Structure 1
Amino acid sequence: MSKVKVNKVVVAYSGGLDTSVIIPWLKENYGCEVVAFVADVGQGEDELVGIEDKAMASGASEVYIADLKEEMVADYIYPTLKTGALYEGKYLLGTSMARPIIAKAQVECARKVGADALAHGCTGKGNDQVRFEGAFAALAPDLHVIAPWREWDLVSREQCLDYLAERNIPCTASLTKIYSRDANAWHISTEGGVLEDTWNAPNDDCWAWTNSPEAAPDEAEYVTLKVQKGEIVAVDGEELSPYQVLMNLNDKGVKHGVGRIDIVENRLVGMKSRGCYETPGGTIMMEALRAVEQLVLDKSSFEFREELGVKASHLVYDGRWFTPLCKSILAATEELAQDVNGEVVVKLYKGQVTATQKRSENSLYSEEFATFGEDEVYNQSHAEGFIRLYSLASRIRTLNAQKK
């Protein structure tokens, strides 16, 4: 099959083995200029040190590094948190939430440099290829997309290393890579190695950030969080930006072993995969926001928000951020969050986070109404008529059956 003519391509570059191979491979197979785009989403300074030199040594003509940390937390993570999205009831969507902002910034880079193509290093087995290309389709359908893993005949880590060695391209990657990891400010995921057998319990090497609950401090830590319109704006009285809030709570969660999950999930492409995910700060945030919601949202609104959360989890996981449906869900949860204001005290202890105190100026909870003692605001006899009407359909159905 003949290749599409490409003059300049912008590749999402991480500095790892795969993308180090992709740059020379694109030049050789497409005869094009390759621009390396690096997204700083909080994966850590160690991942970014020397990355520009590494990309140039691989054959890139230019390297663009975009600091996306603040924007990712404020414009992608916080809105998703308002929906209450948990993929398959457990996963806080750490990898998924970083993809739309990376793809958007990559498209912006392509426009800036006048590229006619985009490339990524996602494999043909994973979810990320769909997330990137779905975003590309929504934002830049005119740009050609190249996915080398679906084209080349390199099938092993050893072959990739040989490919670079033959071209005298330096690479610090080793032949043995036990785990596959992906990190950003929100989380770190660990897959592969012993985790490929679901009967193997994760060992200490499967957890990259957090203390084990057993090694966590024996004394609980209490943290006070201020919530405004469904967003955490202050920690222990200190007002912070969304990214600063996350960094602060990450540090606390890591210390206390908070935010670990071991999950077998359904990938979008059809297969199941197992991963150990660590989302320390995010787990604390989720607990705090849900605690304020319990005070503020009435039963129907809370039920609706839960439905939106399930739908949002699949939209984000499946790479459909830039769609009218996702935009509509985010708008709905934004409206629901207008009264989600309050203060929460959370207890961090041995891997657990628990909301122990909560209050809100918009609370629908009334001690006068809820008390088990004597009150003057609720006539219990009124409940009889309510129950009779509420169960009327069941009553009629059974009476009809008795007549028959």
Structure 2
Amino acid sequence: MKKLVLAYSGGLDTSYCATSLSKSGYEVHAVCVDTGGFSKDELIKIEKNAYQMGVTSFHAIKATATYYQKVIKYLIFGNVLKNNTYPLSVSAERIVQAIELIKYAKEIDAEFIAHGSTGAGNDQVRFDMIFQIMAPKIKIITPIRDQKLTRKQEIDYLKSNGIDLSWDKAKYSVNKGLWGTSVGGDETLTSHLALPEEAYPSQLQNTKEEKLTLSFKMGELVAVNGRKNDAVALIKQVTELAYAYAIGRDIHVGDTVVGLKGRVGFEASAALILIKAHHLLEKHTLTKWQLQHKDFLSSYYGMHLHEGQYLDPVMRDMEAFFESSQKKVSGDVFITLKPYRFELEGIESKNDLMNSKFGSYGEFNSGWTSEEAKGFIKILANSQKIYQQTHSDS
């Protein structure tokens, strides 16, 4: 038997892989890497189905804390939103999952590793790159990509092998994790259609406004409404609070690694609330140049992560910069939750640079005289004045 580790989520693609590879003579070890998207009952069901499909073993890896420490923390530090919209929910997950999968494959001396990605998306790049970099001698197998299978062909194959788990009823492709849920469907394959209300995981339940206080210490979330807990638990708490308001929905349009334009719906309430709250606190506690350079690096960090470049050492360099920038980012951010949206009310921090003793914007100053202000402005305008007078005829 050829020992093989399969990235297994229990969905249609990985179910096809589990069944077909088991029947092709592989000793399939199904591995589900949980980055915050599965309940205990769901994992039990996934394991039961995996054995029904002929796998030799099933192993669930709890990687939520690793996901936060290795990736999410820096997405918050960097206020990373792809194309100013998407908090990289799925792409960030895939990196952690790929690393955990290849580590497990090496532990059990597997000769092969497989995943259910197609040949048209980003996940194939993320998985393959991590696998090749970390274990170049382990052969990668991708049945869906290599056989160019349609959804119908996969379903027909599974049914012909006695496995019918009502695949036809899954109208929308949903991927849930700690940092958000992605939603794909017929509408996201177009450029003009919106996802219907029922496609999103949350539904509006509460129309009464609710106040929320998020406490940060050196850039990390440490308390919600005054109650301390670990970051993962607090992110889940924010998600649960925002769930009743159906907050965090949007559709992201972006460039895939393979050169195609892609469109995906998502719901990421905690990610959007935390990034916006953290950014507001930074605007009060960081200098102009810190904020400018963070914006520049954040775009690069998000792009590299999105395209599977996580293991390049430049990522550690950028993370070191983000970590250093958070030394004074501590305080409380006040938020109001409303149906389908949230509002940032303000902050309170001992490191607030908007300190009235230095003056009040548009009102008064105590740090310089009016004559000093005039001289400063004259010097500031000097280079442009020279340029304009030199090129007055152009």
Q: Please give the range of the TM-score, normalised by the shorter of the 2 chains.
A: over 0.9
What is the aligned partner in structure 2 of residue 138 from structure 1? 133
Instruction: Say whether the 8 Å CA contact 1:210–1:278 is kept in structure 2.
Output: no
Q: Give the deviation of 1:247 after TM superposition.
A: 0.8
What is the aligned partner in structure 1 of residue 368 from structure 2? 378
Alignment of 1:247-258 (within 5 A): 247-258=236-247
What is the aligned partner in structure 1 of residue 323 from structure 2? 334
Alignment of 1:1-400 (within 5 A): 7-29=2-24, 31-45=25-39, 47-152=42-147, 155-168=149-162, 170-211=163-204, 216-217=206-207, 219-371=208-360, 372-400=362-390
Instruction: Say whether the 8 Å CA contact 2:22–2:55 is kept in structure 1.
Output: no
Q: Give the deviation of 1:110 after TM superposition.
A: 0.6
Deviates more, 1:184-193 or 1:298-307: 184-193
Q: Give the deviation of 1:287 after TM superposition.
A: 1.7
Whole-angstrom CA distance in 1 between matches of 2:115 and 2:363: 64
Percent identical across equivalent pairs?
A: 26
Instruction: Say whether the 8 Å CA contact 2:5–2:101 is kept in structure 1.
Output: yes
In the alignment, structure 1 segments of 5+ residues that lack a partner are: 1-5
What is the aligned partner in structure 2 of residue 3 from structure 1? none
Whole-angstrom CA distance in 1 between matches of 2:173 and 2:370: 60
What is the aligned partner in structure 2 of residue 401 from structure 1? 391
Query: Residue 398 of structure 1 aligns to which amino acid in structure 2?
Result: Q
Instruction: Say whether the 8 Å CA contact 2:80–2:275 is kept in structure 1.
Output: no
Q: Indicate how the Cα distance of structure 1 residues 402 and 259 shifts in structure 2: closer, same or farther if over 3 A, else same.
A: closer
Q: Indicate how the Cα distance of structure 1 residues 210 and 311 shifts in structure 2: closer, same or farther if over 3 A, else same.
A: farther
Query: Residue 94 of structure 1 aligns to which amino acid in structure 2?
Result: S
Q: CA deviation digits over 1:168-206, x for unaligned, max 9? A: 3x3413234322221112211111223333332321122
Query: Residue 11 of structure 1 aligns to which amino acid in structure 2?
Result: L
Q: Secondary structure at the match of 1:268?
A: coil
Instruction: Say whether the 8 Å CA contact 1:17–1:161 is kept in structure 2.
Output: yes
Whole-angstrom CA distance in 2 between matches of 1:172 and 1:121: 18
Whole-angstrom CA distance in 2 between matches of 1:352 and 1:53: 39
Q: Indicate how the Cα distance of structure 1 residues 379 and 175 shifts in structure 2: closer, same or farther if over 3 A, else same.
A: same
Whole-angstrom CA distance in 1 between matches of 2:197 and 2:363: 51
Whole-angstrom CA distance in 1 between matches of 2:84 and 2:245: 22
Displaced runs of 4 or more, over 4 A: 372-375
Instruction: Say whether the 8 Å CA contact 2:80–2:298 is kept in structure 1.
Output: yes
Q: Give the deviation of 1:18 after TM superposition.
A: 1.4
Instruction: Say whether the 8 Å CA contact 1:10–1:106 is kept in structure 2.
Output: yes
Whole-angstrom CA distance in 2 between matches of 1:210 and 1:186: 18
Instruction: Say whether the 8 Å CA contact 1:210–1:253 is kept in structure 2.
Output: no
Query: Residue 127 of structure 2 aligns to which amino acid in structure 1?
Result: F
Query: Residue 179 of structure 2 aligns to which amino acid in structure 1?
Result: W
Q: Secondary structure at the match of 1:38?
A: strand
In the alignment, structure 2 segments of 5+ residues that lack a partner are: none
Instruction: Say whether the 8 Å CA contact 1:17–1:171 is kept in structure 2.
Output: no
Whole-angstrom CA distance in 2 between matches of 1:338 and 1:94: 26
- Alignment RMSD: 2.0
Q: Indicate how the Cα distance of structure 1 residues 346 and 110 shifts in structure 2: closer, same or farther if over 3 A, else same.
A: same
Q: Secondary structure at the match of 2:327?
A: helix
Instruction: Say whether the 8 Å CA contact 1:80–1:330 is kept in structure 2.
Output: no
Instruction: Say whether the 8 Å CA contact 2:210–2:338 is kept in structure 1.
Output: yes
Q: Indicate how the Cα distance of structure 1 residues 400 and 256 shifts in structure 2: closer, same or farther if over 3 A, else same.
A: same
Instruction: Say whether the 8 Å CA contact 2:197–2:203 is kept in structure 1.
Output: no
Q: Secondary structure at the match of 2:147?
A: coil
Q: Secondary structure at the match of 1:175?
A: helix
Q: Give the deviation of 1:377 after TM superposition.
A: 2.9
Instruction: Say whether the 8 Å CA contact 1:103–1:136 is kept in structure 2.
Output: yes
Q: Give the deviation of 1:375 after TM superposition.
A: 4.6
Instruction: Say whether the 8 Å CA contact 1:210–1:258 is kept in structure 2.
Output: no
Query: Residue 37 of structure 1 aligns to which amino acid in structure 2?
Result: V
Q: Indicate how the Cα distance of structure 1 residues 143 and 385 shifts in structure 2: closer, same or farther if over 3 A, else same.
A: farther
Query: Residue 319 of structure 1 aligns to which amino acid in structure 2?
Result: G
Normalised by the size of structure 1, how large is the TM-score? 0.91
Whole-angstrom CA distance in 2 between matches of 1:142 and 1:347: 53
Query: Residue 326 of structure 2 aligns to which amino acid in structure 1?
Result: A
Q: Secondary structure at the match of 1:305?
A: helix
Instruction: Say whether the 8 Å CA contact 2:117–2:144 is kept in structure 1.
Output: yes
Q: Indicate how the Cα distance of structure 1 residues 373 and 27 shifts in structure 2: closer, same or farther if over 3 A, else same.
A: closer
Q: CA deviation digits over 1:311-355, x for unaligned, max 9? A: 111112111111112111111111111111111111111222222
